Amino acid sequence: MLAKRIIPCLDVKDGRVVKGKQFVQLRDAGDPVELAMFYNGEGADELVFLDISASNEGRNTMVEVVKQVAAKLNIPFTVGGGIRSLENIKTLLRAGADKVSLNSSAVANPGLIKEGADFFGNQCIVCAIDAKWDPKSSTYKVYTHGGQQETQLDAIEWAKKAVELGAGEILLTSMDQDGEKNGFELNVTRKISEAVDVPVIASGGAGKASDFLDAFEEGRADAALAASIFHYRETSVSAVKSFLKQKGVAIR
Amino acid sequence: MIGIVDYGMGNLYSLSQALKRLEQSYIISDEPNELDKTDGLILPGVGAFKDAMALLNEKKLSDYLRTYAQSKPLLGICLGMQLLFDESEEGVLTEGLGLIPGRITRFSGASKEGERYKVPHMGWNTLSFTAPESCLLSGLKPNYVYFVHSYYADLEDPETLIAAADYFGQVPAVVGKGNVFGTQFHPEKSGAFGQALLANYLKFVRQQGGTCSCGKEMC
């Protein structure tokens, strides 16, 4: 049976992992390779690296990080953040990333999804969507630029469009729930998961192990992503996975 | 020496790094002269069947691989596994390498009961071993492996099945015929199990001279 995936997300700035607790197990908690191997050892099914560098130098450093991670890690990983062109996609995939995730650049230029998917296959292209509930229109609106810019796009419609263009997976972050630690936004997760035929990764709001269960059962997500609860050791990947196993969820 | 066939499709870096972790020497090449120096090949691949075959034909690698596989081991991974079969329905019906009988066909996206399911088959799924005696599975117990694919192999000869996954039906995950093997999943991305399976293939290449350790001509 296909397992539900648990995916830790690491924010990388200028080649260093930011946020996160000083793990006693690690010599260097800012080293992306060491953290990747740590999460691999804990049973992570996949990793996401989000490059939050603001400079070109920082982005070039990310390519080096990807190479180093790919040399050691034997599970899949996705790289996102600041990918604007087919050239950027090629560079990261050739450096060893399994998938790239496109967010603002895909909204600005939806053709980039198609270009990437045509060149490398749908499975390499993840469309990341930051969605926020808009009470006025009673829809989920898409936001870009790290959640700072509101667009007129409806998140569900945009997800369908992205899949039509060739996205092989949707990484859905609820801005309403992000950082709140009281569970994933199950309504939009379920709506998008039912609207598209590709896997959906729920993100934003994980606070405890049972939140993941809800994301899979009520939210119909195929995978769930979390950052801070893993980095700050509020729980661990292995603890979440054993909880889910106990509840009868298919878990690796 | 292992040869990774570089015909312009897919990510060779992860695979080459996996070989490095196994301390296996390798070359990456599309030149028959170079590939001739190897004891076994790995045919990777990500993307569309038709594009891959067009590139293999253009580089004169299709006939080369057919001949190579008569005497030396060949392992296809993901799309590389699909290329080993007779033909594929992806896009237009396209002829494959014809080393293992069968046709590559798309997941329908709906179960027999009419339930919709997601395509691609993406993520970690469990294997069941149908030929546990195969050299590729030596010392291994069924485990989770990482799949990403929208098409699967419809086998003509059930004897060629070594391990399968279940995704709204049986999905051939490891196949083999004589010297030729294929994995639909990515061993280089499948954790310790995948690494051990790759190591088993490398061991088979080293022991080469003939058949799989299971003793059968087809395993």
User: HEC string of A37-68?
Assistant: HHHHHHCCCCEEEEECCCCHHHHHHHHHHHHH
Residue B95 included in any domain: yes
Nearest neighbour of B17 by CB, restricted to A45, A70, A252:
A70
Say what the pLDDT of residue B214 is.
56
Indicate whether B176 belongs to any domain.
yes
pLDDT tens track for A90-112 = 999 989 999 999 999 999 999 99
User: Among all residues of chain B, which has the CA nearest to that of A71?
Assistant: B17
* Burial label, A152 (beta-carbon count in 10 A; 0-12, 13-18, 19+): exposed
Distance from the Cα of residue A153 to its chain's centroid:
20
User: What is the ipTM score, two decimals?
Assistant: 0.91
Domain-embedded: residue B169: yes
Put simply, the chain A residues between 97 and 136 with a CB less than 8 A from any chain B CB are: 98, 120-124
**pLDDT in the model for residue A1:** 87
The answer to the question of residue B213 being in a domain is no
In this structure, are residues A40 and A6 in contact, taking their beta carbons and an 8 Å threshold? no
- Best B15, B90, B111, B146 member to test A by mutation, with max A CBs in 10 Å, is B146
In a domain, A230, yes or no: yes
A99 CB neighbour count, 10 Å cutoff: 25
Q: Which residue of B has its CA nearest to A3?
A: B124
Tokens of B72: 């030396």
Q: Is residue A20 part of a domain?
A: yes
Look up the CATH number of the domain holding residue B186: 3.40.50.880
pLDDT at B45: 83
Which range of residues forms the domain containing residue B140?
Answer: 2-206
CB B188 within 8 A of CB B18: yes
Bridging pattern class, strands A5-13 and A47-51: parallel
User: Is residue B163 a part of any domain in this protein?
Assistant: yes
Chain A nearest CA to B28, separation (Å)? 14
Determine whether the interchain pair B124/A123 forms a contact, defined as Cβ–Cβ distance below 8 Å: no
CATH number assigned to the domain comprising residue A149 = 3.20.20.70
B210: pLDDT strictly greater than 50: no
Percentage above 90 pLDDT, chain A: 83
Has residue A252 been placed in a domain?
A: no
Residue A100 lies in a domain: yes
Give me the number of domains chain A comprises. 1
Q: Read off φ and ψ for residue A128, nearest 5 degrees.
A: -90, 130
Query: pTM surpassing 0.80?
Result: yes
CA–CA gap between residue A143 and residue A153 (Å, rounded): 8
Q: Which domain holds residue A120?
A: 5-247
SS3 A5: strand
Mean pLDDT of B157-177: 97
